[in-house]
Structure 1
């Protein structure tokens, strides 16, 4: 009985959060739509900032997700229907690309679910100098939409960035980012 109450409470809180963020929150972006990757550099809400890095939540706008995905330098890790993947887990898409001369890492994920979901992930930055940094990223995704964000580095000496994480949908399913979503910067 107590376990069922905990599950119901989690479901209610998650549902309320998703619906509140999707229907009651004010739009994050101005009415003008971005056209290319460089237009995204100052968009979205800053969710973390320090002397080295600025992290932005770009929301679940399909236009922004398409700009990131369609960039010629994007690396896409995708599980296709009908093909047995080399990784365990349900399908989905994760895209990572470097922009602004390698100073900004843009990411977008779309799990293979029509349910609203919450994504929790990390962008792992591995610099050529040997310095390492893991930056927490995430966001809420609506019915069949992608969620996107950006990690901007104030200094860039080059390196490699990868994306990992899991999306948790309202039907209690988990969708892990497939290995291979990484790019040089």
Structure 2
């Protein structure tokens, strides 16, 4: 069994008119989405826009695609179609995701003509303000990773990236 998903820009009517959003769909309806209000006060670069969309999709798919439906009750076959620009190379994501999750990820690109969102807010920070970005869960392993990073280069400007689900993405 292959779980098939598509991630693309969409437009929804919120009662006050159409709102641009991002939608992850699985053939039977929208699974996730966010609107430009998500980006109030900041905006990602175009590459960051694509990466954020993929990260949200991968996280959501991992939460909803059951492992018990697969032949060995663990390895899922997951197909994800992403609307992205020419600079996005799907093969750079498929192998690492397959390794990290123990699943078989197939990611395809559908070319987009413009950024996901037309945003007017300035970037939260420029890439010139940090030298390296590190995932930071708040656990001891990620803290040790940051300490190792800073011991190797004490003058390094580190951007820490974290995530808090808040019970919003729990499976039903």
Same fold (TM over 0.5): no
Higher relative contact order (CA 8 A, sep 6+): 1
TM-score where L is the length of structure 1: 0.27
Give the structure with the larger helix fraction: 2
TM-score where L is the length of structure 2: 0.28
Give the structure with the larger strand fraction: 1
